[in-house]
Amino acid sequence: MAKKIAVLLSGCGVYDGSEIYETVLTLLRLDQSGAEYQCIAPNDAMMHVINHMTGEEMSESRNILVEAARLARGNIIDLAEAKQEDFDGLILPGGFGAAKNLCDFAVKGADMSIRQDVIEFVRSFHEALKPVGLMCIAPVMVPQLFGEKSVCTIGTDPSVAEAITAMGGEHQDRAVDDICVDPVNKLVTTPAYMLAGGIFEASKGIFALVDEVLSMIKKYN
């Protein structure tokens, strides 16, 4: 029976939502591996909307779920309706939406807070001993989601690594094509576009993360 993975998105677009290449590469690798997936996102307003041509904020409001539906080709469900019991694992792509719409790290740094529905959903996988993968900037949520001494990577950025340490996590530097595995928490992280200079380079670590999450499902089932 095919394994089914929940993919938690935060919008659509690197500057205000889920990073598009990271998301597509994740879905591609899952499909290549014979796994099923379901995209999920909170049904709420984005923190703000960024013009991806200019990098400037736009004077409009958009919905996280509606924007994420672009990436999922419409096949997406509201986070409020998602149940951990329906999945074997969970993956969170990066993009600034992870640091703006799933939590407020982009604004508050180490003093950040995470959306309660995100906390409950991710922790439900942890409590059920199911693997979770996070990439790019998303691992900043690891200490609050998995507890003190949980191990992760965002690459080699010293300021973000310091914030993770300040929140009680353990950061390990990793190259773009590498992953960081915390076997105690069944947690896998990779730098992706925190370091990647192009889509092929990003694919190496992302594919490795997906492979490890799927391997963990087989190992612990």
Per residue in 41-53, pLDDT tens? 999 999 999 999 9
Q: 93: closest CA among 146, 22, 40?
A: 22
Q: Quick check: 221 pLDDT over 70?
A: no
DSSP letter (8 states) at residue 206: H
pLDDT at 219 over 80: no
Choose, from 12, 39, 103, 136, the residue flagged as catalytic: 136
The yes-or-no answer on residue 103 being catalytic is no
Assess whether pLDDT exceeds 90 at residue 220. Answer: no
The percent of residues above 70 in pLDDT, for the chain, comes to: 99
Summarize the confidence of residues 191-195 as an average pLDDT: 98
Instruction: Tell the burial category of 89 from Cβ atoms under 10 Å away from its Cβ (0-12, 13-18, 19+).
Output: buried
Contact 188, 126 (CB under 8 A): no
Lowest-pLDDT choice from 8-12, 47-51, 171-175: 47-51
- pLDDT for the residue 2: 87
What does the pLDDT average to over 163-185? 98
C-alpha angle 153-158-159 in degrees, rounded to nearest 5:
105
Q: What pLDDT was estimated at residue 1?
A: 81
Q: How far apart are CA 6 and CA 25, in angstroms?
A: 15
Summarize the confidence of residues 176-205 as an average pLDDT. Answer: 98
What percent of the chain shows pLDDT beyond 90? 97
4-220: CATH topology: Rossmann fold (3.40.50)
Euclidean distance between CA atoms 138 and 112, whole angstroms: 13
Q: How many Cβ atoms from other residues are within 10 Å of residue 210's Cβ?
A: 28
